[in-house]
Homo-oligomer: A and B are copies of this chain.
Amino acid sequence: MSPRTTEQYDKLKKDRKNEILDVALELFGNKGFTQTSISAIAKEAGISKGLMYNYFESKADLLDGVIQHVDEDTMHFFADIMVLEDANEVLVQLITRTGKFLKEKREYNTLITSLSLQKDVHSVVRDFADKKMVEMMPFLENLLKQQGFENPEEEAVLFGAIIDGMSVQFLSTENEAYLNKTIQLLLKRYTV
């Protein structure tokens, strides 16, 4: 009889939006952004094509939404590492959580990696990549210095490359055993 309250609407809308974002992430991640049609996402989400545009202004906007949505999760994933005092413990967490992150958010990582390989990358991704580099490297360097490495700067470069290589290998092959193995080796070399 009476219309829904604003709160009810907001809740409903947010839930549905999240559902769409989840479906979109799965398809974008597995098939690629361009290869995934709005229709496919709508069908998978069980809604009409038109309704998609009630939640997102355009396909590009949906992509933004997907990335930001997971970015929040990502923060949670690594947030409390920064506050740890022991450098060794930070490295342990960094390595193991990266593994967990890759497994649990595989579609997201695949999507981001794919996008980063394209020339006309959405600014969101480019910004993200830049930030990662600028913020991460000095932080890493400092950790490795505390671990007693002679050339922490050089070691940080190699460490970063191993992480990225391990990631792309896992995302390409989905070989979880090999990922676990590489993580063990990282722990062995960089932590005690």
**Chain A contact residues, CB within 8 Å of chain B:** 30-32, 34-35, 110, 113-114, 116-120, 129, 133, 154, 157-158, 160-169, 171-173, 181-182, 185, 188-189
- Inter-chain contact A172/B119, CB cutoff 8 Å: no
Are B165 and A182 in contact, CB atoms less than 8 angstroms apart? no
Q: How many subunits of this chain does the assembly comprise?
A: 4
Provide 5 A-B residue pairs closer than 8 Å at the C-beta atoms, listed in order of the A residue: A32-B34, A34-B34, A117-B168, A154-B185, A162-B165
Contact B165 A166 (CB under 8 A): yes
> Is B171 in contact with A185, judged by CB distance below 8 angstroms?
no
- Cross-interface CB contact of A161 among B34, B162, B188, cutoff 8 Å: B162
Nearest 7 pairs of A and B residues by beta carbon: A165-B165, A161-B165, A164-B165, A116-B172, A34-B34, A30-B119, A161-B162
The CA of A30 and the CA of B158, in the complex, are separated in Å by 27
Chain B residues, Cβ within 8 Å of A119: 30-31
Task: Report A56 CB to chain B, min CB distance, Å.
Answer: 17
| Closest chain B CB from A127 CB (angstroms) | 13
**Chain B residues whose CB sits within 8 angstroms of the CB of A172 once the complex forms:** 113, 116-117, 129
Tell me, in angstroms, the Cα distance from A171 to B169 when the chains sit together: 15
Given A35-B118, A113-B168, A117-B172, 17 more pairs with CB closer than 8 A: A31-B118, A34-B34, A113-B117, A117-B168, A129-B172, A129-B173, A133-B173, A154-B188, A158-B162, A158-B185, A158-B189, A160-B169, A162-B162, A163-B165, A164-B166, A165-B166, A165-B167
